């Protein structure tokens, strides 16, 4: 920990009228250890810190509040619809909201000693064309041990790999953005107001593409978006799977087939058609024919759902960390509810429902 902890500990010890020796005896460490803590020479273990908090009668999180290590600085922010973001105040407010969320996330991660380090699964692969995108998608699936199976929950998968997924509610016309925070934390922001389940899954992986794909420096914005779209489709639906689902040499496809793939793999019909074209499963003429047919189907019954994928797709890692912190008595339920922007009674109920899932 940094000097802020050392200063807080010394000030609190003196305020509570503990001598170095008295506090050491209460906590069960050597007097010299307390001296080193207060001088910033060494940092206490989480167990010792918990004992310090108990003896000094403060929440575990007291020592982390307003710590500089939880401040957030963004790099390489990419909006999904860059050309539509024209309000600087909107971007500023959005960054502030995401920053507050990440700061609390890091604080709770420190408290429960659960820190994930993101490892880019395609960091050594340079992207120049569609073949490289296909390879990148398969590498992601291989290193994340997904295989060729449908990804049950994209958001949960990203969170499990150290990606910070932040959900916001905005009426502005944007679906999501990606960024790096503090040069090491990958962040994906999703706008709940304009995302169906399929679009949310696709957008999350599109934003992942911005984070992990290494593109030539002279790549245009339009080409970057195309690469990220192609990457998202390839991760959701591997080319080998597409071939197995549809067979070979197809020029005609039925709506029932498209619906079946959509419902199994959680990818929209539009994205399936684009996926078939990008992976060279169909040529441009067939692509245009399929796309025209789909628009005709959709035009006849625009309110009818053409299949639906069912998945939670909700960011839950932060909530689980809060529950863990309360269950392990590292945070009071009041402080945890405050950090999670939850009412205490509702949060207490959620703890009962979730506490067994964080063991």
Enumerate the domain spans of the chain.
Answer: 3-58, 74-108+116-300, 316-358
What share of the chain has pLDDT > 90, as a percent?
Answer: 47
**pLDDT the model gives residue 329:** 80
What is the rounded distance in angstroms from the CA atom of residue 325 to the CA atom of residue 327?
Answer: 6
**Using an 8 Å Cβ cutoff, are 261 and 272 in contact?**
yes
**pLDDT the model gives residue 3:** 61
What is the rounded distance in angstroms from the CA atom of residue 51 to the CA atom of residue 75?
Answer: 38
Domain 3-58 has CATH 1.10.260.40: yes
Close Cβ partners of 10 (under 8 Å, ≥ 6 residues apart): 38
What is the rounded distance in angstroms from the CA atom of residue 184 to the CA atom of residue 356?
Answer: 31
Q: Which of 51-55, 237-241, 299-303, 344-348 has the highest mean pLDDT?
A: 237-241
* DSSP per residue, 254-286: -HHHHHHHHHHH---HHHHHHHHHHTTSS-HHH
pLDDT at position 96 over 80: yes
* pLDDT tens figures, 269-282: 999 999 999 998 99
Q: Which of 185, 184, 232, 183 has the alpha carbon at shortest distance from 210?
A: 232
**pLDDT the model gives residue 83:** 45
**pLDDT the model gives residue 317:** 94
| Mean pLDDT (whole number) for 79-98 | 75
DSSP secondary structure letter of residue 306: S
* pLDDT tens figures, 102-156: 988 998 898 888 888 899 999 989 999 999 999 999 999 999 999 999 999 999 9
**pLDDT the model gives residue 172:** 66
Mean pLDDT (the chain, rounded):
87
**pLDDT the model gives residue 158:** 98
Q: pLDDT band at 358, cuts 50/70/90?
A: very low
C-alpha triplet 266, 271, 277: angle, nearest 5°: 130
* pLDDT tens figures, 14-73: 999 999 999 999 999 999 999 999 888 888 887 788 889 889 988 776 777 666 667 788
- Beta strands 185-191 and 164-168: pairing type? parallel
* pLDDT tens figures, 193-218: 877 899 999 999 999 999 999 999 99
């Amino acid at each position: 920990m940094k000097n802020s902890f050392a200063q807080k500990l010394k000030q609190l010890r003196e305020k509570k009228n503990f001598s170095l020796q008295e506090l050491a005896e209460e906590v069960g460490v050597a007097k010299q250890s307390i001296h080193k803590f207060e001088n910033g020479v060494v940092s206490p273990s989480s167990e010792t810190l918990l004992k310090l908090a108990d003896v000094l009668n403060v929440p575990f999180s007291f020592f982390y509040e307003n710590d500089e290590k939880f401040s957030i600085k963004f790099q390489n922010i990419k909006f999904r619809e860059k050309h539509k973001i024209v309000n600087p105040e909107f971007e500023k407010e959005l960054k502030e909201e995401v920053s507050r969320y990440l700061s609390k996330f890091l604080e709770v991660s420190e408290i429960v000693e659960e820190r994930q380090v993101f490892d880019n699964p395609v960091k050594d692969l340079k992207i120049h064309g569609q073949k490289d995108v296909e390879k990148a998608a398969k590498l992601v699936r291989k290193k994340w041990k997904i295989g060729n199976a449908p990804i049950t929950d994209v958001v949960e998968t990203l969170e499990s790999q150290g990606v910070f997924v932040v959900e916001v509610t905005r009426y502005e016309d944007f679906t999501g953005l990606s960024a790096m925070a503090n040069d090491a934390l990958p962040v994906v922001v999703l706008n709940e107001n304009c995302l169906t389940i399929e679009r949310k899954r696709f957008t999350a992986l599109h934003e992942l593409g911005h984070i992990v794909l290494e593109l030539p420096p002279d790549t245009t914005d339009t080409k970057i978006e195309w690469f990220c779209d192609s990457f998202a489709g390839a991760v959701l639906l591997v080319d080998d799977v597409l071939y197995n689902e549809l067979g070979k040499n197809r020029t005609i496809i039925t709506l029932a087939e498209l619906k079946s793939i959509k419902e199994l793999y959680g990818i929209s019909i539009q994205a399936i058609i684009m996926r078939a074209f990008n992976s060279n499963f169909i040529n441009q003429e067939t692509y245009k024919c399929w796309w025209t047919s789909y628009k005709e189907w959709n035009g006849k019954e625009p309110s009818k759902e053409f299949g639906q994928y069912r998945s939670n797709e909700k960011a839950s890692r932060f909530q689980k960390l809060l529950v863990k912190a309360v269950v392990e008595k590292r945070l009071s339920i009041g402080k945890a509810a405050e950090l999670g922007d939850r009412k205490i009674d509702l949060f207490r109920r959620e703890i009962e429902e979730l506490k067994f899932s964080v063991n």
